[in-house]
């Protein structure tokens, strides 16, 4: 039988023959023989299929299958905290990686750990979370939360205390309330109370020095209800004891207003004008007593002030002619005022008029 040939598309003549079974086969052995390892040929299907020994560097189906298989092997989870950096599995990491690792899992755990709230009042100062703090931090802590709570607590203590509070814990207690009454009580009065006390005292001194005054003589029969009268002909007369105080006589009664009628709510008896002394050769003592009960009760309570006087005139004009100033507290209108005299001789008479300052409310100590 003559040799048969098949021309391929490239014009190459390929010999044909019939095998023992009568099948027509291509006679070119290159088309059916396994190509070399990692063959770069691309003419026959055998070269596309490849060689069992093809490596992952080849281009045959066998080479690509081996490459796919090798890459599937690298998708197996690496060891925890592995430092290998060859494949993507090394970059991704292991679920058990710790914050000391270098994989994505390790870094995510590190970020998460740094976002966790620290312990209350932690003294740590390594991370931002330590600076921010815990919701349960107290004012004793050092975090932002602790300082915020401290500032808040101090703002609470800046609220105005109650009027006339005696607390002494925070600066607000020392400063006080606008409604604090004037006071100089030790360890209790606020700055507002002390300042009001000072203002009242200064105002009182100012009013005492630059104020209106009234002078009074005695009623025909002075008593503890009404004693004063505006006159220059009837002085009060106090009789001395025997080198002792004599009888207390009423000088201002409960119904008297020795200040400025209609405006004065308080007064002080600041001067006496002594017009006559029965004994002008020896010293006298004169005292003014004040109170709301009896003169004896007021004397017992120490509610009195006194001055010593002596005539500075020649016999025949035995009065001093100059008012004698008394140190006297400010009294409410309606308070009783008495006078007593003391001379070494019993029954001697001291005659006088009384001068008073009146003060309107609310100026008083």
Q: pLDDT (tens digit, 9 = 90+) per residue, 92-102? A: 889 998 989 98
Q: How far is CA 77 from the centre of its chain?
A: 59
**Ordered structural domains, the chain, with CATH:** 4-73 (no CATH), 173-209 (no CATH), 213-359 (2.60.120)
What is the pLDDT averaged over residues 254-279? 89
Q: pLDDT (tens digit, 9 = 90+) per residue, 175-193? A: 889 888 888 888 888 889 8
Specify the pLDDT at position 365: 44
Decide if pLDDT at 313 tops 60: no
Specify the pLDDT at position 361: 66
Q: pLDDT (tens digit, 9 = 90+) per residue, 334-357? A: 999 999 999 999 999 999 999 998
Q: Cβ atoms within 10 A of the Cβ of 165, count?
A: 17
Residue 297: both structure tokens together: 């009760």
Give the CA distances from residue 327 to residues 145, 167, 272, in Å, rounded to whole numbers and listed in that order: 62, 36, 11
Closest to 266 in 3D by CA, of 252, 251, 248: 252
**CA dist., res. 248 & res. 44, Å (int):** 151
Portion of the chain with pLDDT greater than 70, in percent: 84
Specify the pLDDT at position 250: 98
Query: Is residue 43 left, alpha or beta, with left meaning phi > 0 and alpha meaning psi from -120 to 50?
Result: alpha
Three-state DSSP at 14 gives strand
- 236 close to 351: Cβ distance less than 8 angstroms: yes
**CA dist., res. 84 & res. 189, Å (int):** 77
In terms of DSSP H, where are the helices of 41-132? 45-49, 61-73, 88-92, 104-115, 128-132
Q: Cβ atoms within 10 A of the Cβ of 364, count?
A: 19
Vertex 214 angle, CA 212 and 219, to 5°: 165
**CA dist., res. 313 & res. 237, Å (int):** 19
Specify the pLDDT at position 35: 87
Decide if pLDDT at 316 tops 50: no
Three-state DSSP at 228 gives strand
DSSP-derived pairing of the beta strands 244-245 and 228-229: unpaired
What is the pLDDT averaged over residues 109-113? 82
């Amino acid at each position: 039988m003559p040799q048969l040939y098949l021309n391929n598309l490239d014009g190459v003549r390929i010999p044909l023959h019939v095998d023992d079974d009568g099948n027509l086969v291509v006679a070119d052995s290159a088309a059916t023989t396994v190509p070399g390892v990692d063959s770069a040929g691309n003419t026959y299907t055998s070269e596309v299929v490849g060689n069992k020994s093809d490596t992952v560097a080849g281009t045959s189906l066998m080479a690509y299958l081996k490459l796919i298989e090798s890459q599937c092997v690298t998708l197996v989870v690496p060891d925890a905290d592995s430092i290998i950096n060859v494949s993507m599995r090394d970059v991704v990491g292991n679920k058990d990686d710790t914050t000391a690792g270098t994989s994505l899992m390790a870094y995510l755990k590190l970020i998460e750990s740094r976002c966790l709230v620290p312990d209350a009042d932690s003294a740590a100062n390594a991370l931002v979370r330590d600076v921010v703090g815990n919701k349960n931090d107290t004012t004793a802590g050092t975090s932002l939360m602790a300082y915020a709570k401290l500032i808040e607590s101090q703002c609470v203590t800046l609220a105005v205390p109650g009027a006339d509070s005696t607390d002494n814990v925070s600066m607000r207690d020392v400063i006080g309330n606008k409604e604090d009454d004037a006071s100089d009580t030790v360890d209790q009065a606020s700055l507002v109370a002390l300042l009001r006390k000072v203002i009242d005292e200064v105002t009182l001194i100012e009013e005492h020095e630059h104020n209106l005054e009234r002078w009074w003589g005695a009623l025909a029969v002075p008593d503890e209800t009404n004693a004063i009268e505006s006159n220059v002909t009837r002085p009060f007369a106090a009789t001395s004891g025997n080198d002792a105080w004599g009888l207390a006589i009423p000088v201002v009664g409960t119904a008297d207003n020795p200040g400025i009628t209609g405006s004065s709510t308080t007064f002080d008896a600041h001067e006496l004008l002594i017009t006559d002394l029965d004994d002008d050769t020896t010293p006298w003592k004169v005292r003014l007593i004040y109170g709301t009960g009896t003169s004896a009760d007021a004397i017992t309570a120490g509610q009195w002030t006194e001055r010593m006087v002596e005539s500075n005139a020649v016999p025949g004009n035995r009065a001093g002619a100059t008012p004698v100033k008394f140190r006297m507290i400010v009294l409410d209108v309606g308070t009783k005022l008495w006078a007593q005299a003391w001379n070494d001789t019993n029954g001697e008479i001291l005659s006088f008029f009384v001068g008073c300052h009146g003060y309107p409310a609310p100026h008083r100590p």
